[in-house]
Amino acid sequence: MDIVKGNMGWIEVVVGPMFSGKSEELIRRLRRAEIGRQRVQIFKPAIDQRYTKNGIVSHSGLEIASELVKSGSDILEKVAPRTEVVGIDEAQFLGESVVDACTKLADLGKRMIVAGLDTDFMGRPFEPMPRLLAVAEEITKLLAICMRCGNPAVHTQRLVASEELIVVGAGGMYEARCRRCFEPQLAHQIAEEEKEHAAAAKTRAASS
Ligand code: ADP
Ligand code: ZN
Protein backbone atom coordinates (compact mmCIF):
# COMPACT_ATOMS: atom_id res chain seq x y z
CA MET A 1 0.00 0.00 0.00
CA ASP A 2 1.49 3.29 -1.09
CA ILE A 3 -0.20 6.52 -0.13
CA VAL A 4 -2.60 6.24 2.78
CA LYS A 5 -3.93 9.46 4.32
CA GLY A 6 -5.00 9.80 7.91
CA ASN A 7 -5.31 6.72 10.04
CA MET A 8 -7.06 4.55 7.50
CA GLY A 9 -6.89 0.80 8.00
CA TRP A 10 -6.75 -1.92 5.36
CA ILE A 11 -6.41 -5.65 4.78
CA GLU A 12 -3.44 -7.18 2.96
CA VAL A 13 -3.44 -10.93 2.35
CA VAL A 14 -0.53 -13.25 1.50
CA VAL A 15 -1.59 -16.59 -0.03
CA GLY A 16 -0.02 -19.57 -1.78
CA PRO A 17 0.73 -23.25 -1.12
CA MET A 18 2.84 -24.61 1.74
CA PHE A 19 6.55 -23.72 1.44
CA SER A 20 5.82 -20.68 -0.76
CA GLY A 21 7.23 -18.25 1.82
CA LYS A 22 4.01 -16.87 3.33
CA SER A 23 5.34 -16.94 6.90
CA GLU A 24 8.66 -15.43 5.79
CA GLU A 25 6.82 -12.61 4.01
CA LEU A 26 4.48 -12.04 6.97
CA ILE A 27 7.44 -11.92 9.38
CA ARG A 28 9.30 -9.51 7.05
CA ARG A 29 6.36 -7.08 6.94
CA LEU A 30 5.78 -7.29 10.70
CA ARG A 31 9.49 -6.72 11.48
CA ARG A 32 9.47 -3.60 9.33
CA ALA A 33 6.41 -2.31 11.19
CA GLU A 34 8.24 -2.95 14.49
CA ILE A 35 11.34 -1.15 13.20
CA GLY A 36 9.02 1.75 12.35
CA ARG A 37 7.99 1.71 16.04
CA GLN A 38 4.41 0.80 15.26
CA ARG A 39 2.43 -1.16 17.83
CA VAL A 40 2.15 -4.68 16.48
CA GLN A 41 0.17 -7.72 17.66
CA ILE A 42 0.62 -11.13 16.06
CA PHE A 43 -1.69 -14.16 16.17
CA LYS A 44 -1.72 -17.76 15.03
CA PRO A 45 -4.25 -20.59 15.46
CA ALA A 46 -3.90 -22.71 18.60
CA ILE A 47 -4.18 -25.78 16.35
CA ASP A 48 -0.78 -25.06 14.74
CA GLN A 49 1.81 -25.82 17.42
CA ARG A 50 4.28 -27.56 15.14
CA TYR A 51 7.41 -25.72 16.19
CA THR A 52 6.91 -23.48 19.21
CA LYS A 53 3.88 -22.51 21.20
CA ASN A 54 4.56 -18.81 21.23
CA GLY A 55 5.88 -17.90 17.85
CA ILE A 56 5.39 -17.98 14.12
CA VAL A 57 8.26 -19.97 12.62
CA SER A 58 8.93 -20.21 8.89
CA HIS A 59 10.23 -23.39 7.25
CA SER A 60 13.52 -21.53 6.80
CA GLY A 61 13.79 -20.84 10.57
CA LEU A 62 12.70 -17.17 10.84
CA GLU A 63 10.70 -16.57 13.99
CA ILE A 64 8.53 -13.89 15.58
CA ALA A 65 6.57 -13.98 18.85
CA SER A 66 2.80 -14.51 18.58
CA GLU A 67 -0.32 -15.14 20.65
CA LEU A 68 -2.47 -18.26 20.22
CA VAL A 69 -6.14 -17.87 19.25
CA LYS A 70 -8.97 -20.21 18.31
CA SER A 71 -11.08 -17.92 16.12
CA GLY A 72 -11.49 -14.46 14.66
CA SER A 73 -13.60 -13.52 17.70
CA ASP A 74 -10.60 -14.26 19.96
CA ILE A 75 -8.56 -11.81 17.88
CA LEU A 76 -11.24 -9.11 18.24
CA GLU A 77 -11.11 -9.56 22.01
CA LYS A 78 -7.32 -9.52 22.23
CA VAL A 79 -6.45 -6.56 19.99
CA ALA A 80 -5.70 -3.52 22.13
CA PRO A 81 -7.15 -0.15 21.08
CA ARG A 82 -3.63 1.26 20.63
CA THR A 83 -2.46 -1.53 18.30
CA GLU A 84 -1.70 -0.26 14.80
CA VAL A 85 -0.68 -3.40 12.92
CA VAL A 86 -2.17 -6.89 13.33
CA GLY A 87 -0.47 -9.99 11.83
CA ILE A 88 -2.24 -13.34 11.44
CA ASP A 89 -0.61 -16.56 10.17
CA GLU A 90 -2.38 -19.76 8.99
CA ALA A 91 -5.68 -17.86 8.85
CA GLN A 92 -7.38 -20.76 7.03
CA PHE A 93 -7.58 -22.55 10.41
CA LEU A 94 -9.52 -19.75 12.13
CA GLY A 95 -12.91 -20.19 10.47
CA GLU A 96 -15.34 -17.69 8.98
CA SER A 97 -15.08 -15.31 11.95
CA VAL A 98 -11.62 -14.23 10.78
CA VAL A 99 -13.19 -12.31 7.85
CA ASP A 100 -15.47 -10.40 10.21
CA ALA A 101 -12.59 -9.70 12.62
CA CYS A 102 -10.32 -8.39 9.85
CA THR A 103 -13.10 -6.18 8.45
CA LYS A 104 -13.97 -4.70 11.85
CA LEU A 105 -10.32 -4.04 12.78
CA ALA A 106 -9.50 -2.51 9.37
CA ASP A 107 -12.61 -0.29 9.75
CA LEU A 108 -11.16 0.83 13.10
CA GLY A 109 -8.01 2.00 11.30
CA LYS A 110 -5.70 -1.00 11.76
CA ARG A 111 -3.41 -2.47 9.13
CA MET A 112 -4.25 -6.17 8.90
CA ILE A 113 -1.61 -8.48 7.41
CA VAL A 114 -2.99 -11.98 6.97
CA ALA A 115 -1.26 -15.10 5.61
CA GLY A 116 -2.85 -18.44 4.76
CA LEU A 117 -3.37 -21.31 2.33
CA ASP A 118 -5.76 -20.38 -0.48
CA THR A 119 -6.28 -24.03 -1.54
CA ASP A 120 -6.52 -27.33 0.34
CA PHE A 121 -4.85 -30.72 -0.27
CA MET A 122 -7.37 -31.45 -3.06
CA GLY A 123 -6.72 -28.11 -4.77
CA ARG A 124 -10.10 -26.70 -3.70
CA PRO A 125 -10.56 -23.13 -2.41
CA PHE A 126 -9.84 -23.19 1.34
CA GLU A 127 -12.51 -21.17 3.18
CA PRO A 128 -12.42 -18.55 4.58
CA MET A 129 -9.40 -17.38 2.51
CA PRO A 130 -11.39 -16.78 -0.73
CA ARG A 131 -13.79 -14.50 1.17
CA LEU A 132 -10.89 -12.68 2.77
CA LEU A 133 -9.30 -12.13 -0.67
CA ALA A 134 -12.58 -10.62 -1.82
CA VAL A 135 -12.55 -7.90 0.87
CA ALA A 136 -8.76 -7.25 0.86
CA GLU A 137 -7.15 -4.06 -0.44
CA GLU A 138 -3.97 -5.89 -1.44
CA ILE A 139 -3.22 -9.51 -2.35
CA THR A 140 0.15 -11.22 -2.75
CA LYS A 141 0.14 -14.71 -4.25
CA LEU A 142 3.38 -16.61 -3.71
CA LEU A 143 4.53 -19.81 -5.41
CA ALA A 144 6.80 -22.55 -4.10
CA ILE A 145 9.14 -24.78 -6.12
CA CYS A 146 7.70 -28.10 -7.34
CA MET A 147 9.47 -30.94 -5.55
CA ARG A 148 9.03 -33.16 -8.61
CA CYS A 149 10.16 -30.99 -11.51
CA GLY A 150 11.35 -27.60 -10.23
CA ASN A 151 8.61 -25.54 -11.90
CA PRO A 152 6.62 -22.89 -9.98
CA ALA A 153 4.30 -24.72 -7.59
CA VAL A 154 0.77 -23.54 -6.83
CA HIS A 155 -0.41 -26.70 -4.99
CA THR A 156 0.06 -28.35 -1.61
CA GLN A 157 0.44 -32.10 -2.17
CA ARG A 158 -0.59 -34.32 0.74
CA LEU A 159 1.60 -37.44 0.93
CA VAL A 160 -0.22 -39.30 3.71
CA ALA A 161 -3.49 -41.21 3.76
CA SER A 162 -5.83 -38.92 5.70
CA GLU A 163 -8.81 -37.39 3.92
CA GLU A 164 -9.58 -34.92 6.73
CA LEU A 165 -9.51 -31.28 5.59
CA ILE A 166 -7.16 -30.29 8.40
CA VAL A 167 -4.08 -32.41 9.07
CA VAL A 168 -1.41 -30.18 10.58
CA GLY A 169 2.11 -31.12 9.66
CA ALA A 170 5.12 -30.35 7.53
CA GLY A 171 8.11 -32.71 7.35
CA GLY A 172 7.25 -35.51 4.94
CA MET A 173 3.46 -35.06 5.07
CA TYR A 174 3.19 -32.37 2.44
CA GLU A 175 5.20 -31.06 -0.48
CA ALA A 176 4.83 -28.31 -3.05
CA ARG A 177 3.77 -29.36 -6.56
CA CYS A 178 3.17 -27.55 -9.84
CA ARG A 179 -0.15 -28.00 -11.67
CA ARG A 180 1.35 -30.74 -13.87
CA CYS A 181 2.74 -32.84 -11.01
CA PHE A 182 -0.13 -32.27 -8.54
CA GLU A 183 -2.09 -35.47 -7.74
CA PRO A 184 -5.27 -34.38 -5.92
CA GLN A 185 -6.43 -38.00 -5.42
CA LEU A 186 -3.13 -39.23 -3.96
CA ALA A 187 -4.18 -39.06 -0.27
CA HIS A 188 -7.37 -40.94 -1.19
CA GLN A 189 -5.46 -43.59 -3.19
CA ILE A 190 -2.98 -44.19 -0.35
CA ALA A 191 -5.92 -44.59 2.07
CA GLU A 192 -7.56 -47.16 -0.25
CA GLU A 193 -4.28 -49.09 -0.65
CA GLU A 194 -3.79 -49.16 3.11
CA LYS A 195 -7.32 -50.54 3.55
CA GLU A 196 -6.64 -53.27 0.96
CA HIS A 197 -3.34 -54.22 2.61
CA ALA A 198 -5.03 -54.39 6.02
CA ALA A 199 -7.84 -56.59 4.60
CA ALA A 200 -5.31 -58.90 2.86
CA ALA A 201 -3.27 -59.21 6.07
CA LYS A 202 -6.45 -60.11 7.98
CA THR A 203 -7.34 -62.82 5.45
CA ARG A 204 -3.80 -64.25 5.64
CA ALA A 205 -3.92 -64.26 9.44
CA ALA A 206 -7.33 -66.00 9.41
CA SER A 207 -6.21 -68.76 6.99
CA SER A 208 -2.91 -69.52 8.76
P1 ADP B 1 4.87 -21.02 4.04
O2 ADP B 1 4.52 -20.14 5.21
O3 ADP B 1 4.27 -20.55 2.74
O4 ADP B 1 4.62 -22.50 4.29
P5 ADP B 1 7.60 -20.52 4.85
O6 ADP B 1 7.78 -19.04 4.87
O7 ADP B 1 7.37 -21.19 6.17
O8 ADP B 1 6.45 -20.90 3.80
O9 ADP B 1 8.87 -21.25 4.21
C10 ADP B 1 9.47 -20.85 3.01
C11 ADP B 1 10.85 -21.51 2.95
O12 ADP B 1 10.69 -22.92 2.85
C13 ADP B 1 11.69 -21.16 1.76
O14 ADP B 1 12.40 -19.96 1.93
C15 ADP B 1 12.66 -22.34 1.70
O16 ADP B 1 13.74 -22.13 2.59
C17 ADP B 1 11.86 -23.49 2.28
N18 ADP B 1 11.37 -24.47 1.30
C19 ADP B 1 11.27 -25.81 1.54
N20 ADP B 1 10.71 -26.44 0.50
C21 ADP B 1 10.46 -25.51 -0.45
C22 ADP B 1 9.87 -25.56 -1.77
N23 ADP B 1 9.44 -26.70 -2.31
N24 ADP B 1 9.74 -24.40 -2.45
C25 ADP B 1 10.18 -23.25 -1.89
N26 ADP B 1 10.73 -23.15 -0.67
C27 ADP B 1 10.88 -24.25 0.05
ZN1 ZN C 1 6.14 -30.21 -11.25
Q: List pLDDT tens digits, range 134-147.
A: 999 999 999 999 99
Is residue 143 a part of any domain in this protein? Answer: yes
CATH code, 32: 3.40.50.300
Mean per-residue pLDDT, 20-49? 94
Residue 90 bears catalytic tag: yes
Is residue 2 a part of any domain in this protein? Answer: no
How sure is the predictor about 19, in pLDDT bands with cuts at 50, 70 and 90? very high
Domain count, the chain: 1
Cα gap 53→31, rounded to integer Å: 19
- The neighbour count for residue 121, using CB atoms within 10 Å, is 28
Residue 82 has pLDDT above 80, yes or no: yes
In sign, the C-alpha dihedral spanning 83, 127, 59, 54 is positive
Percent of the chain exceeding pLDDT 70 equals 96
How sure is the predictor about 81, in pLDDT bands with cuts at 50, 70 and 90? very high
Q: Is the CB of 44 under 6 A from ligand 1?
A: no
Ligand 1 atom closest to the CA of 176, numbered from 1: 23
Q: How far is the CA of 189 from the centre of ligand 2 (A)?
A: 19
Cα gap 115→132, rounded to integer Å: 10
Is residue 4 a part of any domain in this protein? Answer: no
Can you give the pTM of this predicted structure?
A: 0.92
Identify the domain containing residue 29 by its residue range: 10-207
Is residue 88 a part of any domain in this protein? Answer: yes
Is residue 182 a part of any domain in this protein? Answer: yes
Q: Is the CB of 90 under 6 A from ligand 1?
A: no
Is residue 21 a part of any domain in this protein? Answer: yes
